[in-house]
Chain A
């Protein structure tokens, strides 16, 4: 497979990317999107949050799960980093602590797909102000 080395190479891949993304967007409904936030403060980054965020982005895409993965600042659970907050449509957010790739996989397979709770949930002690 030809490697992408320049903006021209990227331009040539654009139509292929457009059709992949168009297919995905047709099936998306904003209210049905899973929202995943990875805490990305110093403690989180040092504990491996970057790799977890990349894992979640890749695996949710591979498993065709409609989700938005974003980063957030310190949630205050520095002792349990990496931490990931998951909000399923219509449900309250849940924060998972000590997330490694195995736990991230469980979060996808058990919680996101089946609503099954896992060990290591951190009780939420904050309120988001929109």
Chain B
């Protein structure tokens, strides 16, 4: 993947496929500790310990249209190459949490990418799910919650192009104000 936002888009597809109705994506940039941490947490159907053990295997997938499952292995590889790691925890019926850590100033850490585009695309394409995007840079934080957005927009579809444009602008302005992904 060209950037981290595409990894996040990919991982969230797993959450949606697992029937998640609430998905939170949290990015934490700890400059002092030199850490860039991505966490994706969902309330989907979760995985058994046997499946959890196998998901980082690129030749393992629950899908029937292909024989490989590359999303998590690719993210794990990128995290490890950038001096970090990938952790997964899951319980059947309780959901899954994935945490990928990268060295913040590591030369091999991919750039953040277009998080606003990814979040708005996900929200628009999956109106039945609640998305919470939290981005923290040191002590500054921005939270985008589709539930709050829905309350403000009072029924206007997030998939509408005009709405999507404004939401992207809203997210980008706030990410810029906390200097997200800019170091």
Chain A interface residues toward B at CB < 8 A: 3-7, 9-11, 13-14, 17-18, 20-21, 40-43, 45-46, 50, 53-54, 57-58, 60-62, 68-71, 73-76, 78
Contacts and interface: CB of A to CB of B under 8 A. Distances in A.
Q: What secondary structure prevails in chain B residues at the interface with A?
A: helix
Chain B contact patch, size range: 35 or more
Interface string B155-169: 011011111101101
Contacts of A69: 159
A61 B162 contact: yes
A41 B13 contact: yes
A11 B154 CA distance: 10
Nearest to A18: B156
Contact of B70 (A14, A40, A42, A62): A42
B121 A50 contact: yes
B25 to A, nearest CB: 15
A40 B174 contact: no
B121 A53 contact: yes
B162 A78 contact: no
Contacts of A78: 66
Contacts of A4: 166, 169-170, 173
B162 A20 contact: yes
Contact of A76 (B6, B65, B71): B65
24 contacts: A4-B169, A6-B170, A10-B170, A17-B160, A17-B162, A17-B163, A21-B157, A41-B13, A41-B63, A45-B10, A46-B1, A46-B6, A50-B114, A50-B117, A50-B118, A50-B121, A57-B164, A58-B161, A61-B162, A62-B161, A68-B159, A71-B121, A73-B63, A76-B65
A54 B121 contact: yes
B74 interface: yes
